[in-house]
Every structure is written in C-alpha cells, then in structure tokens.
Structure 1
Amino acid sequence: MPSDISTDLQSRLAELFEWKINPQTGSEYFNLFAWWREPEVVAGIGDLLAKPFRDSTPTIVIGPSASGYLTGALTAASLGVGFCPIRKDPSPSFDSDPWITVTSPPDYQDRHLEFGLPKGLIRSSDRVLAVDDLIDTGGQLLALQKLVEDIGAEWIGASVLIDNLRENHPRRQLNLRSVFHIRDL
C-alpha cells in the first residue's frame, strides 16, 4: 500500500475512533465497531497491519477470537498467506483431533483464558505473525506467543491497531507494532 493511501486510511481511522461511556459502570471504553462499517477500512486494514512485517516473510497469520479473526484474515489476505484462528476457551466441538492449548497471564479483566487450536494447523517450519485489534495488558498475545513457541514455530511479531499497553516489556517481548498508540487517539 503506497504511504499516502496508508496515511489517508490512518487519518480516516482516527476520525472514526470514538470513546463511549458504559451506562452501568460509568467507565470509558473505545468503540471500534464503527471502523468495520466503512468499506475503505475493510479494504485497507490488512495492509496497514501487514506493513511492518512484510519483509519478515510470515508464512501464517494467527488471531484470537473474536476481533483477531477479522483483522487476522484481512492481514493474511494482504500478505498472501494462510490464516489460523485461535479459539478462546477451546473445546473440540465436532472432532476428536488433538488440540494444543495454553493459558494466558491475566488479561484486561484479570481473567486467565485458555487458547487453543487443532494440532497440526501451525507447523514447526512456520513463521508466525499474530494480529489483533487492540492490546491492553498483553496477556492474550503473550499466550499466543507461548503457543507458537510450544509448537516449535518461529514467532516474528504481533501487529495491532491500537496499543494501550502501560508497560514496555510486553512490547519488546512480542516484537509489537501498532497503527496507533492510544494517546494518539
């Protein structure tokens, strides 16, 4: 994606970004759903997320449910590679194939989630890029990194739309790149 198109899309994303108030708790949160209604966002978001890792030649993109499925598939299409969805709280729903699972450190709601996928979808020869819409504590992406390492594949990094991390350590450990830092919005 040429940089002027990339800059135009980033400007459009910033324009569409909005803070909301939870009426039950009074706490603020950001609403990313408006982004997915816009055709130019859907058409370009995969390129934005892929851009920092294009030269790293990933062979597969992974993303956690639910938003990681959307951002991951769009990024994989941009890179011309496959996509592997990673389920939260996985349970083999229709088969008896073995699954590989890992438990996350605490996420933004202080939960420890289990992530998994059917064995064999990620191979030890893969170069893996993880993609999601947002990172808050890093717990989910750190769990995905561990899953990739347990398989013996190579973790090349993580790409997110919004970096809301308060600490630098997960950024370095994950080789994280983002389209926006929360302070920019």
Structure 2
Amino acid sequence: MTRALLLDRFRWVDGHADLWPVFRDGEAFAEVVRALAEPFRDAGVTAVCGIESRGFLLGGAVALELGVGFAAVRKAAGMFPGEKLTRETDPDYRGFRHVLRMQRSALSPGDRVLLVDDWIETGSQALAVRALVLEAGAELIGCAVLVDQLGPAARPRLGRLHALLTADELPEC
C-alpha cells in the first residue's frame, strides 16, 4: 500500500525526482512515516538522525512515531551552535563532497541510532553519518529511506537498510 501511495505521488520535474507531494498530503505523509518506523519498533532505537533537508522532515516525524528524540545532521552552510562533530563525505552521485556536522551533545554513548532520509544513492552521506554516530559513542542500527538506489559495494558497510521503494520501481524520467 505504501509503495503505491509513493508511486502515485512521485514525479520527475526537469529530470529531477520530486517526492515533495508526499509531504503535502497528510494521510500519505503519516503512512510513509509509519512504514519507515515499523521495522525498527522493537530494535531499541533511542534516537533518530536525519540529514537536512528532507531527512529533517522524515527523521523528525519517525522520531515522534517511535517516541524518541531527533539528532539533526547539517550540511556545512547552516547555523549550528555548540561543539560539533564533522565528517566529509565521499563523492556523491554528482561527484560532490559535503561536510556533515552534528552537535557533539546530540547523542550519548550507548545510544542506538536510526538514520532516516529520502533517498540513498552512493551511501556517501549515510557512511559519514555512521562515522559521526560512532565518534559520539553511539551505534547506527540501521537506515530507513523512501528510495534505495544503493550499489552492492556500500550496502554491507551500512548494516540494516529498509527502503519503501527501489529506484528500479520508479517510472522512467
């Protein structure tokens, strides 16, 4: 049901994937959040991480669904007070590197963290978040995403990955 819901609202605009209509539809958004959280309900999650911007929306909502807090991961340009942990990503699908930051106080040793985002392609950002989580003394227990386009090389390094769709299921551009 969630797959059909996502596919009904997915579109290509000027060659770019557009998932924003999911956020505009309250029922669809709620269903997507439940579906992202479901496999991790009994995993002992103590915090959810999300990378700006859609990861903030999805991650915050999944954190509420699971009854835990949210730890924001920002890209280099945004305001972010306090001491930070930082990691530079490997090149993404466009060849860009990003500096990701998380407040040192966002996670505690022993936290069990779920990363939530909209799309995973190369895994470069997810692997950088994993390094941030480990540096904080926490454990990344998995990733939940709307669309999985991850290649086989990065998959074993990320651990458990739950996706609502694969990129192969999307309509052609």
CA shift digits 1:139-175 (9 cap, x unpaired) = 111110111111121110111000122x212222212
Aligned to 2:102: 117
Flag structure 1 segments of 5+ consecutive residues without an equivalent: 1-6, 23-27
Give, as a single letter, the amino acid of the residue that structure 2 aligns with 1:168: P
Give, as a single letter, the amino acid of the residue that structure 1 aligns with 2:157: Q
The 5 A counterparts of 1:7-156 are 7=1, 9-20=2-13, 22=14, 28-89=15-76, 93=80, 95=81, 97-156=82-141
Give, as a single letter, the amino acid of the residue that structure 1 aligns with 2:9: L
Which stretches of structure 1, 4 residues or longer, exceed 6 Å deviation after superposition? none
Aligned to 1:173: 157
Tell which structure's C-alpha radius of gyration is larger. 1
Give, as a single letter, the amino acid of the residue that structure 1 aligns with 2:107: I
RMSD: 1.5
SS of 2:93's equivalent in the other structure is coil
CA shift digits 1:43-94 (9 cap, x unpaired) = 222211111222212100000001100010111111111111111115655x
Aligned to 1:4: none
Give, as a single letter, the amino acid of the residue that structure 2 aligns with 1:161: L
**What CA distance in whole angstroms lies between the structure 2 residues aligned with 1:54 and 1:171?**
22
Flag structure 2 segments of 5+ consecutive residues without an equivalent: none
CA shift digits 1:96-140 (9 cap, x unpaired) = x32111111111221111111221111111000000000111111
TM-score (norm 2): 0.91
The 1:89/1:114 distance shift into structure 2, 3 A limit, reads same
In the alignment of these two chains, the number of paired residues is: 169
**What CA distance in whole angstroms lies between the structure 2 residues aligned with 1:43 and 1:118?**
28
Indicate conservation of the 8 Å contact 2:52/2:75, yes or no: yes
